[in-house]
């Protein structure tokens, strides 16, 4: 298993053992299994429904009606209006996108290149550099906040989205580099050696062989990074000092008042916009994600 | 051959940007932070040199002990929980649902993408006792057990955090492990079955040994994430009641930023980093994987 | 937004710039130290994101009474969530980049530290220079004195008194007189409890409403300087007379007077319990008037709510007319950017903030009300007269604690009332973090 071959990378479908011996009571034996699936679906689905219901409830309903009660008025969009007006949700979404996408692109491009250099290319000291990156996976984010704030301030980047983009890129790198190196390890060396004999330059090999071969894997890593960045609270909280720079996650805190009072309805509405927005992206990309994760995953 | 695959200029071009960003934004600040460990104070009141005092304080501060125990306990329990749940799910996908598993995989994966703040709100309400009895307590009442105030003690709050995080991450681990299971060559099952193996024996003697590498990857993944737990605890219990659910990360954050003790905060971060390194090295050793090998 | 354009210019020095500076800065980790005064290019105000009333009042001033000052130096509001606010202040102070005007942090300790570093404007002197010495009302002045070791370097944008609000109807239904002593209070709670009414609605999740009770009890038994003595190290929270206060509050919890699940009750739930008539009493500051005056939230009616000071403890040295008070989110001014334009802003602020805030936000401030405000809700008027009648105020339990002890106190409060921590353990834990 330590040697993942190209064939297995490319094999998308499930190859499971033959079904159990047929018997007329098959469906009875399957009941427990279906029960498990049903429980799973409820466990995952109910919370979403609950969130959606919450977004239509008034503050009084939250406080005085049971948690699972249906909203009294399904056409009560006040919470959404509140979320977008007082809550500034549109600005936050824009900021989240503006911070996430460049950071993601940067992480992937330079991370994949680094993974390629560390795994495919042969040079002294690459093991050490790889370990150096690996060490970065273990460092807690809190450790670098303080110096970074000083750096961003001194360079005049405070008050822009750049601190977020740069920090996300850097924090995402260790895992990206490490995972990409692992993926490249699964690509047979003979391919690159043959290409070299054919006279392909290293950049060409990277662009036309390396990159396409780990495309699914890149997709997986990008997805993992996307959700890390999108859901980050710590860094966004530290480096955004203006309301018009805030990302969604920090914005969600805005519905809490000075003494700890929570505006439940608008919070839920904002969360719903966030969740169902993500859900749409996710369903849209899902096929590729599952393929990517299935194809590569982290194995050595 | 090595002129192309070992071209230093190409290495610089390909590796350079990543290494530069990584060095400037991660490594430099890390060492900078380490510098704080021998100081006391914060940017407002200034810094004074205290030598090893902060490091020494780590050994006498009872809250460090509490936080360390919580962090390790959380990491172990959650790693076992989420990898096991993920593994069982992946077995379900591969051996039971098979080709129909696509939709289920997608759905179970979905909680991974939800914002922590939202998930925490959800679990607070699920386990609530006030203002309204939440579904979990309602269920307990239905079977004749009195409602439990889950967040009133660290013991019960711990399990709510664990359940929440398993719920959040099992889909992710399921897909990760599923990938490993799918790669097991079909012929192995065939021959095992001809030898008379089935059910549990098949799982134990074929499936588990063959999926060990990907299991190890998952465990490393999980340990690393769980030792650094921050968001979910912050959003769900904020470390309370008292400091009974405070992990090292949160204690470090509070120490530095709420209490203004940057030096001590950095010392806690150092402790956490060492812990992560040790655990990871330990797992690497036991999985007999040699990373440095070209 | 002029800042948007400024930002575009700042994007240019990207990674290369960071690199150079990062290396240059690595050797120099120490912050602190004063900076030379430079005239700011805007009247920048950094606020708690959660507090909107000060922002709104400032905006109203900049468009109205202070428009001339705003012309000279435009108001520019930025916000930071409370959770990361102190951190932001520390970082800004470390860079000598404090805004002109800012909320002075989650605990009074932050402002004290800033003052120690010489970073704050002496407000008393500044107001005197502006001929505005009377701008801050005496009650607020004395609260600030008590909070900040006798110095005046913050602006009281709120002035709140705290006490126990009670449901008049429920009291009448169960034949309860307004308690004037602790024992009567406990008896009243007992009567309500026996009748199936939650005696005290309390936000146990945040903890501070519970430790407020401990603090008040201490002020009543040991006198107004009870916690000053602890701060100065003359007494310890672990002394028996201090533990007694924690024990008294723990006993309320033990008897179930806070309802069945105080740990899980958050602020809004606590407010709601009181305003829907589920609870008979509610310890809270006068900022809660906004909720009381909102008929949608207030199901029991504003006329049904009474206010009583925290009762006396028999044989104690304190008295009930020493109301607990605070100045909300006090604002501070940065010394480094205190230019003439800022001074004239301060003058206009001191002159008009009180009336503008009361008229537009319904918030009672620590500033004199220059223009009388008509049509105030009766409850607000009642509180205002309470404030006027107050000669001596006391603080709250954590007021003089460092941030660490304050956090410990508040996060452990619910464990005190649920019995998970004994009164001795609770006080020991807090004392340990006080570090004296």
Stretch among C313-317, C335-339, C375-379, C399-403 having the lowest mean pLDDT: C375-379
Give partners of A (≥3 CB pairs < 8 A).
Answer: B, C
Q: Which domain holds residue C271?
A: 160-326+401-434
pLDDT at residue B287, as a whole number: 60
Instruction: Quote the percentage of chain C above a pLDDT of 70.
Output: 91
- For every residue of A16-58, DSSP letters joined together read -PPPPPP-TTHHHHHHHHHHHHHHHHHHHHHHHHHHHHHTT--
Number of domains in chain B: 1
Give partners of C (≥3 CB pairs < 8 A).
Answer: A, B
DSSP H helices, C223-266, are: 226-231, 240-254
Q: Give the pLDDT confidence of C107-146 residue by residue, as tens digits.
A: 888 899 899 888 999 999 999 999 998 999 888 988 999 8
Would you state the torsion angle of the CA atoms of residues C369, C375, C380, C386, taken in this order, to the nearest 10 degrees?
Answer: 60
Q: Is C157's Cβ below 8 Å from some Cβ in B?
A: no
pLDDT at residue C9, as a whole number: 34
Q: Which domain holds residue B72?
A: 62-286
Q: Give the pLDDT confidence of C226-262 residue by residue, as tens digits.
A: 999 999 999 999 999 999 999 999 999 999 999 888 8
If 0-12 CB within 10 Å is exposed, 13-18 middle and 19+ buried, where does residue C233 land?
exposed
- What CATH number should be reported for the domain holding residue A130? 1.10.3720.10
- Taking 90 as the threshold, does the pLDDT of residue C427 lie above it? yes
Contact A180, A111 (CB under 8 A): yes
Sign of the CA dihedral with C408 first, then C414, C416, and C420 last: negative
Interchain pair B46, C404: CB under 8 A = no
Tell me the average pLDDT across A77-88. Answer: 84
Residue A21 lies in a domain: no
Tell me the average pLDDT across A132-157. Answer: 83
CA distances (Å), A45 to each of A31, A38, A184, B285, C356, in order?
A: 20, 10, 37, 40, 50
- What CATH number should be reported for the domain holding residue B199? 1.10.3720.10
Contact C95, C108 (CB under 8 A): no
pTM for this one?
0.83
Interchain pair C22, B28: CB under 8 A = yes
Contact C370, C354 (CB under 8 A): yes
Q: Is B212's Cβ below 8 Å from some Cβ in A?
A: yes
- Taking 50 as the threshold, does the pLDDT of residue A13 lie above it? no
Q: State the DSSP code for C12.
A: S
Q: C328: which residues sit within 8 A by CB, 6+ positions away? A: C156, C157, C158, C159, C160, C287, C363, C365
Regarding whether C311 and C256 lie in a shared domain, the answer is: yes
Q: Which residue of B has its CA nearest to C410?
A: B242
Q: Is C407's Cβ below 8 Å from some Cβ in B?
A: yes
Q: Assign C87 to helix, strand or coil.
A: helix
CA distances (Å), C64 to each of A222, B9, B184, in order?
A: 51, 65, 75
Q: Assign A75 to helix, strand or coil.
A: coil
Regarding whether C124 and C48 lie in a shared domain, the answer is: yes
pLDDT at residue B201, as a whole number: 78
Residue B234, token pair as written in the block: 């912050």
If 0-12 CB within 10 Å is exposed, 13-18 middle and 19+ buried, where does residue C391 land?
exposed
Residue C9 lies in a domain: no
pLDDT at residue A15, as a whole number: 43
Residue C196, token pair as written in the block: 């199936």
Residue C228 lies in a domain: yes
Regarding whether C339 and C261 lie in a shared domain, the answer is: no
- Taking 70 as the threshold, does the pLDDT of residue A120 lie above it? yes
Q: Which residue of B has its CA nearest to A288?
A: B106
Q: State the DSSP code for C334.
A: B
Give the HSE-up count for residue C22: Cα atoms under 13 Å, Cβ half-sphere: 27
Q: Give the pLDDT confidence of C335-360 residue by residue, as tens digits.
A: 999 999 999 999 999 999 999 998 88
- What CATH number should be reported for the domain holding residue C315? 3.40.190.10
Q: Is A52's Cβ below 8 Å from some Cβ in B?
A: no
Cα(C189)–Cα(C176) distance, integer angstroms: 9
Cα(C270)–Cα(C165) distance, integer angstroms: 12
Assign 3-class secondary structure to chain B: CHHHHCCHHHHHHHHHHHHHHHHHHHHHHHHHHHHHCCEEEECCCEEEECCCHHHHHHHHCHHHHHHHHHHHHHHHHHHHHHHHHHHHHHHHHHHHHHHHHHHHHHHHHHHHHCCHHHHHHHHHHHCCCCCCCCHHHHHHHHCCCCCCCHHHCHHHHHHHHHHHHHHHHHHHHHHHHHHHHHCCCHHHHHHHHHCCCCHHHHHHHHHHHHHHHHHHHHHHHHHHHHHCCCHHHHHHCCCCCCCCCCCHHHHHHHHHHHCCCHHHHHHHHHHHHHHHHHHHHHHHHHCCCCCCCC
Q: What is the average pLDDT score of chain A?
A: 78
CA distances (Å), B123 to each of A133, A166, B53, B73, B244, in order?
A: 35, 33, 41, 21, 18
Cα(B65)–Cα(B63) distance, integer angstroms: 5
Instruction: Quote the percentage of chain C above a pLDDT of 90.
Output: 61
Residue B117 lies in a domain: yes
Regarding whether C417 and C370 lie in a shared domain, the answer is: no
Regarding whether C174 and C273 lie in a shared domain, the answer is: yes
Give contacts of B258 with chain C, Cβ < 8 Å. Answer: 86-87, 106, 403-404, 407
pLDDT at residue C17, as a whole number: 36
If 0-12 CB within 10 Å is exposed, 13-18 middle and 19+ buried, where does residue C165 land?
buried
Interchain pair B110, A44: CB under 8 A = yes
* Residue given tokens 């709601």 in the structure block: C272
Q: C203: which residues sit within 8 A by CB, 6+ positions away? A: A260, C209, C265, C266, C267, C269, C270
Residue C16 lies in a domain: no
Range among B110-124, B275-289, C82-96, C170-184 rated most confident: C170-184
Residue C435 host element (H or E): none
Q: Give the pLDDT confidence of B197-222 residue by residue, as tens digits.
A: 667 777 777 788 878 777 877 887 78
Cα(A200)–Cα(B20) distance, integer angstroms: 27
Of C29, C93, C269, the CB nearest to B44: C93
More confident residue, B190 or C315: C315
Residue A41, token pair as written in the block: 């679906």
Distance linking the first and last C-alpha atoms of chain A: 8
Number of domains in chain C: 2
Give residues 114 to 143 of B whose Cβ lies within 8 Å of C: 128-131
Regarding whether C368 and C319 lie in a shared domain, the answer is: no
Interchain pair B32, C29: CB under 8 A = yes
The separation between CA A245 and the C-alpha centre of its own chain, rounded to angstroms, equals 21
Q: Is A142's Cβ below 8 Å from some Cβ in B?
A: yes
pLDDT at residue C212, as a whole number: 96
Interchain pair A262, C271: CB under 8 A = no
More confident residue, C176 or A184: C176
Band (A166; pLDDT cuts 50, 70, 90): very high
Residue C1 lies in a domain: no
Give residues 226 to 245 of B whose Cβ lies within 8 Å of C: 238-243
Residue B38 lies in a domain: no
Regarding whether C430 and C288 lie in a shared domain, the answer is: yes
**Pairing outcome for strands C279-285 and B46-49:** unpaired
Q: Give the pLDDT confidence of C149-173 residue by residue, as tens digits.
A: 889 999 999 999 999 999 999 999 9
Band (C429; pLDDT cuts 50, 70, 90): very high
| Rg, C-alpha atoms of chain B | 24
Q: State the DSSP code for C303.
A: G
Of the residues A5, A70, A139, the best mutation for testing chain B's interface (the one with the most B CB atoms within 10 Å of its CB) is A139
Regarding whether C262 and C185 lie in a shared domain, the answer is: yes
Interchain pair B130, C259: CB under 8 A = yes
CA distances (Å), C417 to each of A156, B124, C63, C187, C203, in order?
A: 49, 21, 48, 18, 12
Residue B7 lies in a domain: no
Residue A35 lies in a domain: no
**Pairing outcome for strands C101-103 and B46-49:** unpaired
Contact B36, B268 (CB under 8 A): no
pLDDT at residue A291, as a whole number: 62
If 0-12 CB within 10 Å is exposed, 13-18 middle and 19+ buried, where does residue A230 land?
buried
- Taking 80 as the threshold, does the pLDDT of residue A168 lie above it? yes
- For every residue of A165-214, DSSP letters joined together read HHHHHHHHHHHHHHHHHHHHHTS-HHHHHHHHHTT--HHHHIIIIIHHHT
Regarding whether C58 and C79 lie in a shared domain, the answer is: yes
Number of domains in chain A: 1
Q: State the DSSP code for C237.
A: T
Q: What is the distance in angstroms between the Cα of A118 and the nearest Cα belonging to chain C?
A: 23
Residue C271 lies in a domain: yes
Distance linking the first and last C-alpha atoms of chain B: 16
Phi-psi region of B159 (alpha: psi -120 to 50; beta: other; left: phi over 0): alpha
**Pairing outcome for strands C198-201 and C43-48:** unpaired
pLDDT at residue C11, as a whole number: 33
Of C95, C117, C420, the CB nearest to B46: C117
pLDDT at residue A257, as a whole number: 66
- Taking 70 as the threshold, does the pLDDT of residue C272 lie above it? yes
Q: Assign C170 to helix, strand or coil.
A: helix
Give contacts of A150 with chain C, Cβ < 8 Å. Answer: 25, 31, 91, 94-95
Q: Where among C383, C409, C424 does a domain terminate?
A: C383
Residue A285 host element (H or E): helix A264-295
Q: Give the pLDDT confidence of A218-274 residue by residue, as tens digits.
A: 877 887 788 788 888 888 888 887 778 888 888 877 676 666 667 788 888 888 888
Give contacts of A289 with chain B, Cβ < 8 Å. Answer: 109
Give contacts of A243 with chain C, Cβ < 8 Å. Answer: 49, 78-79
Interchain pair A162, C276: CB under 8 A = no
Tell me the average pLDDT across A174-190. Answer: 83
Cα(A103)–Cα(B107) distance, integer angstroms: 27
Q: Which domain holds residue A225?
A: 6-10+89-295
CB neighbours (10 Å) of residue B62?
10
Regarding whether C191 and C270 lie in a shared domain, the answer is: yes
Band (A137; pLDDT cuts 50, 70, 90): confident
Give the HSE-up count for residue A42: Cα atoms under 13 Å, Cβ half-sphere: 7
Residue C166 lies in a domain: yes
Tell me the average pLDDT across A160-184. Answer: 89
pLDDT at residue A12, as a whole number: 38
Regarding whether C306 and C369 lie in a shared domain, the answer is: no
Residue C109 lies in a domain: yes
pLDDT at residue B8, as a whole number: 83
Residue A165 lies in a domain: yes
Contact B180, B213 (CB under 8 A): yes
Of A1, A120, A144, the CB nearest to B29: A144
Can you name the residues that pair with C167 across neighbouring β-strands?
C305
Interchain pair C78, A259: CB under 8 A = no
Q: Is B28's Cβ below 8 Å from some Cβ in C?
A: yes
Q: Is C334's Cβ below 8 Å from some Cβ in B?
A: no
Interchain pair C420, B241: CB under 8 A = yes
Residue C62, token pair as written in the block: 């900049």
Regarding whether C414 and C265 lie in a shared domain, the answer is: yes
Residue B210 lies in a domain: yes
């Amino acid at each position: 298993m330590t040697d993942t071959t190209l064939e297995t990378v490319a094999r998308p479908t499930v190859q499971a053992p033959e079904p159990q011996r047929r018997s007329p009571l098959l469906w009875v034996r399957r009941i427990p299994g279906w029960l498990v699936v049903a429980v799973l679906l409820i466990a995952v689905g109910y919370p979403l429904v609950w969130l959606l219901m919450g977004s239509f409830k008034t503050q009084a309903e939250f406080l005085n009606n049971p948690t699972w009660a249906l909203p009294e008025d399904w056409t009560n969009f006040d919470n959404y209006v509140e979320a977008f007006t007082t809550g500034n949700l549109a600005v936050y979404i824009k900021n989240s996108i503006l911070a996430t996408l460049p950071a993601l692109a940067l992480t992937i491009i330079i991370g994949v290149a680094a993974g390629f250099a560390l795994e495919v290319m042969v040079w002294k000291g690459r093991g050490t550099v790889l370990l150096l990156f690996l060490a970065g996976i273990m460092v807690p984010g809190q450790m670098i906040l303080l110096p970074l704030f000083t750096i961003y301030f001194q360079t005049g980047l405070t008050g822009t989205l750049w601190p977020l983009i740069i920090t996300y890129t850097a924090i995402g790198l260790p895992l990206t580099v490490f995972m990409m190196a692992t993926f490249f390890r699964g690509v047979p060396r003979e391919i690159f050696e043959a290409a070299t004999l054919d006279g392909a330059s290293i950049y060409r090999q990277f662009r036309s062989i390396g990159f396409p071969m780990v495309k699914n894997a890149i997709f997986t890593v990008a997805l993992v990074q996307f959700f890390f960045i999108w859901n980050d609270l710590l860094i966004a909280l530290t480096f955004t000092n203006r309301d018009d720079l805030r990302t969604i996650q920090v914005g969600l805190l805005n519905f809490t008042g000075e003494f700890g009072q929570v505006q439940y309805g608008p919070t839920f509405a904002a969360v719903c916009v966030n969740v169902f927005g993500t859900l749409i992206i996710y369903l849209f990309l899902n096929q590729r994600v599952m393929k990517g994760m299935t194809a590569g995953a982290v194995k050595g | 051959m090595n002129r192309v695959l070992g071209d230093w200029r190409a290495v610089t071009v390909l590796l350079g940007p990543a290494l530069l960003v990584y060095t400037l934004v991660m490594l430099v600040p890390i060492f900078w932070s380490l510098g704080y460990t021998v100081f006391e104070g914060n940017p407002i009141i200034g810094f004074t040199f205290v030598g090893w005092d902060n490091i020494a304080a780590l050994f006498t501060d009872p809250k460090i002990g509490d936080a360390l125990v919580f962090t390790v306990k959380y990491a172990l329990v959650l790693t076992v929980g989420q990898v096991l749940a993920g593994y069982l799910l992946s077995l379900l996908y591969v051996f039971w649902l098979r080709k129909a598993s696509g939709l289920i995989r997608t759905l179970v994966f979905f909680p991974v993408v939800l914002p922590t703040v939202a998930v925490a709100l959800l679990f607070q309400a699920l386990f609530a006792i006030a203002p309204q009895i939440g579904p979990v307590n309602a269920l307990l009442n239905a079977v004749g057990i009195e409602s439990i105030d889950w967040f009133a003690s660290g013991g019960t709050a711990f399990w709510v955090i664990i359940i929440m995080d398993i719920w959040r991450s099992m889909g992710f681990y399921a897909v990760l492990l599923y990938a490993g299971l799918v790669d097991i060559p079909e012929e192995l099952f065939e021959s095992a079955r001809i030898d008379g193996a089935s059910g549990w024996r098949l799982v134990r003697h074929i499936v588990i040994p063959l999926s060990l590498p990907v299991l190890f990857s998952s465990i490393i993944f999980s340990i690393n994430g769980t030792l650094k737990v921050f968001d979910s605890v912050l959003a769900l219990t904020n470390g309370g009641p008292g400091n009974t659910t405070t992990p090292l990360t949160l204690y470090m954050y509070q120490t530095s930023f709420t209490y203004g003790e940057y030096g001590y905060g950095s010392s806690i971060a150092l402790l956490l980093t060492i812990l992560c390194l040790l655990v990871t090295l330990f797992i690497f050793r036991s999985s007999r994987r040699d990373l440095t090998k070209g | 937004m002029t800042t948007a354009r400024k930002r575009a210019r700042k994007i240019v020095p990207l990674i290369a710039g960071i690199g150079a500076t990062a290396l240059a800065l690595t050797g120099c980790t120490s912050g602190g130290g004063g900076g030379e005064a430079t005239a700011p290019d805007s009247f920048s105000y950094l606020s708690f994101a959660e507090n909107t009333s000060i922002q709104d009042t400032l905006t109203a001033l900049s468009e109205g009474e202070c428009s001339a000052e705003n012309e000279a130096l435009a108001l520019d509001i930025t916000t930071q969530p409370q959770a990361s606010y102190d951190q932001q202040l520390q970082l800004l102070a470390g860079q000598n980049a404090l805004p002109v005007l800012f909320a002075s942090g989650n605990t009074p300790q932050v402002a004290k530290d800033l003052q120690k570093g010489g970073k704050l404007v002496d407000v008393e002197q500044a107001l005197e220079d502006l001929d505005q010495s009377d701008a801050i009302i005496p009650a607020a002045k004395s609260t600030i004195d008590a909070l900040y070791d006798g110095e005046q370097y913050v602006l009281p944008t709120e002035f709140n008194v705290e006490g126990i609000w009670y449901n008049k109807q429920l009291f009448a239904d169960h034949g309860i007189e307004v308690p004037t002593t602790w024992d009567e209070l406990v008896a009243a709670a007992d009567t309500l409890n026996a009748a199936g009414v939650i005696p005290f609605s309390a936000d146990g999740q945040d903890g501070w409403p519970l430790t407020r009770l401990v603090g008040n009890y201490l002020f009543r038994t040991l006198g107004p300087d009870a916690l000053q003595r602890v701060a100065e190290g003359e007494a310890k929270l672990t002394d028996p007379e201090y533990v007694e206060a924690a024990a008294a509050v723990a006993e309320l919890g033990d008897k179930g007077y806070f309802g069945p699940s105080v740990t899980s009750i958050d602020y809004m739930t606590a407010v709601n319990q009181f305003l829907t008539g589920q609870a008979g009493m509610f310890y809270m500051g006068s900022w809660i008037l906004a909720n009381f005056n909102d008929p949608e939230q207030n199901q029991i009616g504003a006329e049904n709510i009474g206010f009583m000071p925290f009762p006396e403890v028999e044989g104690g040295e304190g008295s009930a007319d020493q109301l607990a008070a605070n100045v909300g989110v006090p604002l501070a001014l940065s010394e480094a950017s205190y230019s003439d334009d800022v001074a004239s802003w301060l003058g206009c602020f001191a002159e008009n903030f009180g009336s503008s805030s009361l008229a537009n936000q319904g918030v009672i401030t620590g500033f004199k009300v220059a223009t009388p405000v008509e049509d105030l809700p009766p409850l607000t008027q009642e509180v205002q007269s309470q404030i006027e009648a107050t000669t001596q105020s006391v603080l709250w339990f954590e007021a003089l604690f460092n941030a660490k002890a304050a956090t410990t106190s508040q996060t452990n409060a619910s464990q005190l009332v649920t019995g998970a921590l004994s009164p001795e353990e609770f006080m020991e834990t807090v004392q340990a973090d006080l570090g004296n």
